[in-house]
């Protein structure tokens, strides 16, 4: 048991993150201070949450490329509402963002479920559509810091030991853990991606499960839309441009198999933190921006190569030997 735990992907990733922090602190000692690590976690909170939503989709052997566009569209909508009607209470805006995000996710889900469009194509389409919609609703204009109400901007910053943004992320991690390990839906995500035929025989509706995964990913993107806009105190068409790739990279680094069926909450969280540490370390260790891009990319490829090796299916080998025996 202890041996398995030590050799698990999550453990290796945690050790890698620890080693990385140690290395960085050799060059920039203040990096390893608890206050700074808290800041890194806070900065990575949105990536962590999105990765947990994306994980549901990837587990079912699909992909959601539209998360960042969904986030940006929701962020723009709540920011515009807040600037036009500062009286709307913030919890109502957050609820609206989650519902709207879920609805946008449901559009993806329906296309994959009912129209049988390949996930990568469906969400590539909605990525562009949602980005375009931001332009349509905003007319290309920015919503700026002075147009947002103070309550709107302050919520993610409200501090109870940690900023509220971090607490929200911790809450989402807890809920995700419950969902993925303790509910039938969560197990169904694994089952559908692991072996769709077996899942059908077990009485799982694969289409509906995929749909649920997209709705979950969309709802989390909606929540993050508000958090993003409030945190950076600005909303414009291009916010979080290209962020979907970070989210997918976080999942993959965390050992969520692109082929579906494999992945854990701890893995996705650690994968996101791995990227978060790199992103926050690069500005302080004083490396040329061109090298920064190369380093981020190499880290992803190394992690994926590592996972691919660890992931080699043992199932088929067993079947083949079983055939030989028969």
Contacts with other proteins by CB under 8 A lie at 28, 30, 36, 39, 43, 142, 144-148, 157, 228, 232-234, 238-243, 279-280, 282-284, 286, 288-290
As a three-state string, the secondary structure of the chain is CHHHHHHCHHHHHHHHHHHHHHHHHHHCHHHHCHHHHHHHHHHHHHHHHHHHHHHHHHHCCCCCCCHHHHHHHHHHHHHHHHHHCCCCCHHHHHHHHHHHHHHHHHHHHHHHHCCCCCHHHHHHHHHHHHHHHHHHHHCCCCECHHHCCHHHHHHHHCEECEEHHHHHHHHHHHHHHHHHHHCHHHHHHHHHHHCHHHHHHCCCCHHHHHHHHHHHHHHHHHHHHHHHHHHHCCECCCCCCCHHHHHHHHHHHCCCCCCCCCCCHHHHHHHHHHHHHHHHHHHHHCCCHHHHHHHHHHHHHHHHHHHHHHHCCCHHHHHHHHHHHC
User: Nearer Cβ to other proteins, position 8 or 36?
Assistant: 36
Min. distance of Cβ 30 from other proteins in angstroms?
Answer: 6
Min. distance of Cβ 32 from other proteins in angstroms?
Answer: 12
User: Nearer Cβ to other proteins, position 174 or 241?
Assistant: 241
Min. distance of Cβ 280 from other proteins in angstroms?
Answer: 6
Min. distance of Cβ 147 from other proteins in angstroms?
Answer: 8
User: Nearer Cβ to other proteins, position 213 or 250?
Assistant: 250
User: Nearer Cβ to other proteins, position 204 or 282?
Assistant: 282
User: Nearer Cβ to other proteins, position 265 or 281?
Assistant: 281
Min. distance of Cβ 199 from other proteins in angstroms?
Answer: 37
């Amino acid at each position: 048991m202890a041996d398995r735990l030590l050799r698990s992907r999550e453990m290796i990733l945690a050790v890698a993150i620890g080693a990385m922090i140690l290395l960085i602190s050799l060059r920039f000692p203040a990096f390893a201070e608890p206050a700074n690590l808290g800041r890194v976690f806070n900065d990575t909170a949105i990536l962590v949450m999105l990765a947990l939503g994306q994980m549901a989709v990837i587990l079912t052997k699909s992909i959601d490329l539209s998360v960042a566009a969904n986030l940006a569209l929701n962020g723009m909508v709540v920011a515009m509402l807040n600037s036009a009607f500062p009286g709307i209470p913030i919890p109502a805006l957050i609820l609206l963002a989650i519902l709207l995000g879920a609805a946008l996710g449901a559009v993806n889900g329906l296309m994959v479920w009912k129209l049988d469009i390949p996930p990568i194509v469906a969400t590539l389409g909605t990525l562009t559509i949602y980005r375009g919609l931001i332009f349509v609703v905003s007319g290309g204009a920015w919503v700026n810091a002075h147009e947002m109400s103070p309550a709107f901007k302050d919520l993610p910053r409200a501090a109870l030991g940690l900023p509220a943004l971090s607490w929200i992320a911790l809450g989402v991690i807890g809920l995700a853990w419950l969902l993925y390990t303790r509910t039938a839906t969560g197990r169904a995500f694994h089952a559908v991606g692991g072996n769709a035929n077996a899942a059908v025989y077990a009485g799982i509706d694969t289409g509906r499960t995929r749909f649920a995964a997209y709705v979950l990913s969309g709802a989390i993107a909606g929540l993050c839309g508000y958090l993003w806009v409030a945190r950076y105190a600005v909303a414009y068409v291009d916010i979080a441009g290209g962020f979907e790739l970070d989210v997918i990279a976080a999942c993959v680094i965390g050992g969520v198999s692109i082929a579906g069926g494999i992945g854990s909450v701890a893995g996705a969280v650690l994968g996101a933190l791995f990227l978060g540490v790199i992103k926050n370390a690069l500005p302080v260790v004083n490396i040329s921006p061109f090298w920064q891009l190369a380093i981020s990319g190499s880290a992803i490829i190394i992690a994926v190569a590592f996972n691919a090796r660890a992931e080699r299916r043992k199932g088929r080998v067993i079947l083949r030997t079983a055939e030989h025996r028969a």
